[in-house]
């Protein structure tokens, strides 16, 4: 029976491949018009050169590994195979190709952010002998200017105390990072080591300073009439909204996940099902309904309204993930506490909560990242450029009545993605463990 279904799958796969190769791909290729617009550099059979280049590189790697291994073998008198070294070299090559593909759009965004023309497409031919620059595959940095960036900061008045706080925040961040790097090099991975504690203190100072900065930044400090000059304000709004949303997500899912994981009240299974299936409704298509709800509550145009509207988004997933995490923790600790006379609530607070920190970080970050660049709900509920979030601002640059302000978009994108990238790189560990705890079931 199993063999039969395997044959059927194999047959279906083969049919699909044949269809793709013999019908779909030729159809696709026939849709390419055989004409070259001017300004378009086309090299007949250029792929042969590239292929040749790659083969030469592989040959070089092969020669390198053969020679290096034979020298080493001759010196040490052992007989080691050159193939692992060769395989490593090819792996590096492959990964570099992937790296370039992954970073190519990033390069283009960065290039566009330095281009004052507000256009992603250049027409004046670049003065360069480099074929890649001339064909505009690699952006031409010859006319780079900081105009787009300066527009984003135009007319922003920052008070002395804010500069001071910024300085404190930056220094403590620097301290955290350098301590982290130092601890890595000396191999200090203990949680409670003195260095780790100092690092934690730096992080708290940074959080506090950033928090004060965020709370006390006011729209009146942005004096320029241009919309884009409110960029810093948008970042602040976003950090505020996403931060509170993330904290709310943790607060709402923690107790629910605990109840689902540890209690066995009647109706637990059906409630869990309802939780999961409700989430499958494409919620943001209910924009009009959400609007009318927030309007009845007089929460339109407030961050409270937006935060509440976002809050529904992660409850079921967060609960599910946290439930999975708790189930992977042995019950013995809590049971000991319960026997000692603690209530369920006390057992949860004293025993499970401290263990759950990585999961809470994960849920917080997931919600933070998810709402950071959201723009559809935000656009519905917030009005006026003073209250915009980064996502709305970015979307606005590219969806004007006619124009697309690519230069400003790119500059804002570069600055606006820094917090998210920092979070991803700083908390990579939590993302990995969170996703695995949430879904790995063996």
Partner 1 sequence: MYRSPPGVKGFLLSIGLLGGGLLLTFSLGYLIFRFLAAALPRPVDSPYPGYLILIFMVLLLIPMLILIARRFPFITDWYYLLPAISFVLAFTLYPILLTVYFGFTDYTGLKNGKPDRSTETSIVRVEGNTLVAQGDATQSLRCVRPDCAGEKLEVTSDTQRATLTMVKVTGQRIELSSPPPFKPKLAYHINSYQWVGLANYRDIFSRAGSILFPIFIWNLAFAAGIVLLSAGIGLILGLLLNNKTLKLRGFYRTILIISWAMPTVISFQVWGALLNVNFGAVNRFLGLLGSYPVPWTSDPEWAKVAVILIGVWQAFPYWMVATLGALTTISDDVYEAAKIDGASGWRTLTRITLPLLRPSFTPLLLSAFAFNFNNFGLIYLAINPQPGVEGRPSTAQAVDILISWAFKTAFQADGGQAYGLGGAISFIIFAITVVISLINFRVTGALREVR
Partner 2 sequence: MKKALFVVAIAFMGLAMAQGKLTVWTHYGGPEVTWLKEQAAKFQKATGTQVEIVEVPFGDIQNKFILGAPQGQAADLIVSIPHDWVGAMASAGVLEPMGKYATSSYISGLNDVAVEALSYRGQLFALPMFAEAVGLIYNKKYVQTPPKTWDEFLKMAQANTSGNRFGFLYNLNDAYFSYGWFTAYGASVFAKNGNTLNTSDVKLGGSPGDKAMSFIKDLRYKYKLVPEGVDYGVADGAFKDGSLAMIMNGPWALGDYKKAKIDFGIAPMPAPPGGSQWKPFVGVQGVAMSAYSKNKIAAANFAKLLVTPESQISLNKAGGRIPVSKAAVAALKNDPVVAGFSAIIASGSPMPNIPEMGKVWGPWGNALSQVTQKPDSNVEAILSNMVSEIQKGISGK
First-last CA distance in the chain: 24
Nearer to partner 2 among residue 124 and residue 142 (C-beta): 124
| Rg of the chain on CA atoms, in Å | 28
Binding mask 361-400 for partner 1 (x = CB under 8 A): -----------xx-x--------------xx--xx--x--
User: Which residue, among 319, 313, 322, 317, has the nearest Cα to 353 in the 3D structure?
Assistant: 322
By the 10 Å C-beta count (0-12 exposed, 13-18 middle, 19+ buried), 386 is classed as middle
Which token pair is 113?
A: 């952010």
Q: Is 156 left (phi over 0), alpha (psi -120 to 50) or beta?
A: beta
The item of partner 2, partner 1, none sharing an interface with residue 132, based on CB under 5 to 8 Å by kind, is partner 1
Residues of this chain, 21-40, that bind partner 1 according to CB under 8 A: 27-28, 31-37, 40
Closest contact distance (angstroms) between CB of 380 and partner 2 is 8
Nearer to partner 1 among residue 176 and residue 253 (C-beta): 253
Nearer to partner 1 among residue 208 and residue 283 (C-beta): 283
User: Inter-axis angle of helices 357-372 and 406-426, to 10 degrees?
Assistant: 170
Binding mask 44-83 for partner 1 (x = CB under 8 A): xxxxx-x---------------------------------
Distance (Å, whole) CA 226 – CA 397 = 12
Are 217 and 236 in contact, with CB atoms under 8 Å apart?
yes
Please pick, from the candidates 72, 73, 162, 417, the single residue that binds partner 1 as defined by CB under 8 A.
417
The Cβ of residue 222 has, within 10 Å, a number of other Cβ atoms equal to 21
Nearer to partner 2 among residue 38 and residue 425 (C-beta): 38
Distance (Å, whole) CA 103 – CA 141 = 17
Please pick, from the candidates 1, 74, 102, 186, the single residue that binds partner 1 as defined by CB under 8 A.
102
Are 364 and 197 in contact, with CB atoms under 8 Å apart?
no
The item of partner 2, partner 1, none sharing an interface with residue 425, based on CB under 5 to 8 Å by kind, is partner 1
Contact residues for 406 (Cβ-Cβ < 8 A; gap 6+):
112, 115, 118, 119, 120, 397, 398
Residues of this chain, 115-174, that bind partner 1 according to CB under 8 A: 120-121, 131-132, 135-137
Contact residues for 324 (Cβ-Cβ < 8 A; gap 6+):
261, 437, 438, 439, 441
The span of 84-92, 150-158, 162-170, 209-217 binding partner 1 (CB under 8 A) equals 84-92
Nearer to partner 2 among residue 192 and residue 384 (C-beta): 384
Nearer to partner 1 among residue 164 and residue 353 (C-beta): 353
Nearer to partner 1 among residue 105 and residue 192 (C-beta): 105
The item of partner 2, partner 1, none sharing an interface with residue 197, based on CB under 5 to 8 Å by kind, is none
Are 347 and 395 in contact, with CB atoms under 8 Å apart?
no
Residues of this chain, 227-286, that bind partner 1 according to CB under 8 A: 251-253, 255-256, 258-260, 263, 265-267, 269-273, 275-286
Residues of this chain, 420-439, that bind partner 1 according to CB under 8 A: 420-421, 424-425, 428, 431-433, 435-436, 439
Check residue 189 for interaction with partner 1 (CB under 8 A): no
The residue ranges that bind partner 2 (CB under 8 A) are 31, 33, 37-39, 117-125, 225-227, 288, 291, 295, 300-301, 379-380, 383-386, 396, 399-404, 406
Nearer to partner 1 among residue 56 and residue 297 (C-beta): 297
- 156 has which bridge partners? 222
Distance (Å, whole) CA 233 – CA 388 = 8
Closest contact distance (angstroms) between CB of 35 and partner 2 is 9
User: Which residue, among 433, 423, 427, 110, has the nearest Cα to 238 in the 3D structure?
Assistant: 423
Nearer to partner 2 among residue 210 and residue 380 (C-beta): 380
Phi, psi for 46 (deg, rounded to 5)? -60, -30
The item of partner 1, partner 2, none sharing an interface with residue 170, based on CB under 5 to 8 Å by kind, is none
């Amino acid at each position: 029976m199993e063999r039969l279904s395997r044959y059927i799958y194999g047959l279906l796969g083969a049919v699909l491949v044949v269809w793709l190769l013999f019908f779909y791909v030729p159809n696709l290729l026939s849709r390419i018009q055989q004409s070259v617009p001017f300004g378009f550099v086309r090299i007949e059979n250029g792929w042969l050169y590239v292929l040749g280049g790659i083969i030469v590189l592989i040959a070089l790697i092969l020669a390198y590994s053969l020679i290096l291994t034979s020298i080493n073998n001759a010196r040490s008198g052992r007989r080691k195979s050159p193939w692992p070294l060769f395989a490593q070299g090819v792996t590096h090559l492959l990964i570099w190709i992937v790296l370039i593909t992954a970073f190519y759009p990033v390069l283009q965004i960065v290039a566009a952010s330095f281009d004052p023309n507000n256009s992603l497409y250049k027409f004046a031919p670049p003065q360069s002998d480099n074929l890649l620059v001339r064909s505009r595959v690699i952006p031409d940095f010859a006319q780079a200017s900081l105009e787009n960036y300066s527009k984003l900061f135009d007319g922003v008045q920052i008070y002395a105390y804010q500069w001071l706080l910024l300085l404190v925040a930056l220094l403590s961040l620097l301290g955290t990072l350098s301590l982290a790097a130092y601890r890595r090099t000396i191999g200090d991975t203990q949680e409670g080591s003195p260095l780790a504690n100092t690092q934690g203190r730096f992080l708290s100072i940074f959080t506090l300073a950033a928090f004060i900065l965020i709370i006390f930044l006011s729209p009146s400090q942005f004096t320029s009439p241009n919309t884009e000059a409110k960029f810093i304000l948008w970042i602040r709004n976003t950090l505020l909204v996403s931060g509170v949303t993330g904290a709310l997500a943790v607060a709402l899912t923690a107790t629910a996940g605990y109840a689902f994981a540890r209690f066995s009240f009647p109706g637990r299974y059906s409630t869990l099902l309802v939780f999961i299936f409700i989430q499958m409704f494409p919620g943001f298509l209910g924009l009009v309904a959400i609007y009318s709800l927030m309007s009845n509550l007089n929460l339109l145009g407030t961050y409270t309204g937006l935060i509440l509207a976002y809050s529904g988004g992660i409850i079921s997933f967060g609960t599910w993930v946290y439930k999975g995490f708790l189930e992977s923790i042995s019950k013995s600790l809590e049971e000991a506490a319960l026997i000692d006379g603690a209530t369920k609530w006390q057992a949860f607070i004293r025993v499970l909560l401290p263990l759950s920190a990585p999961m809470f970080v994960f849920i917080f970050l997931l919600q933070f990242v998810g709402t950071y660049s959201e723009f559809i709900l935000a656009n519905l509920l917030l009005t006026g450029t003073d209250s915009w979030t980064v996502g709305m601002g970015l979307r606005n640059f590219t969806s004007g009545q006619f124009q697309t302000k690519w230069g400003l978009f790119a500059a804002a994108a570069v600055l606006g993605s820094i917090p998210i990238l920092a979070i991803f790189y700083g908390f990579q560990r939590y993302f990995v463990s969170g996703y695995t705890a949430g879904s790995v079931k063996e």
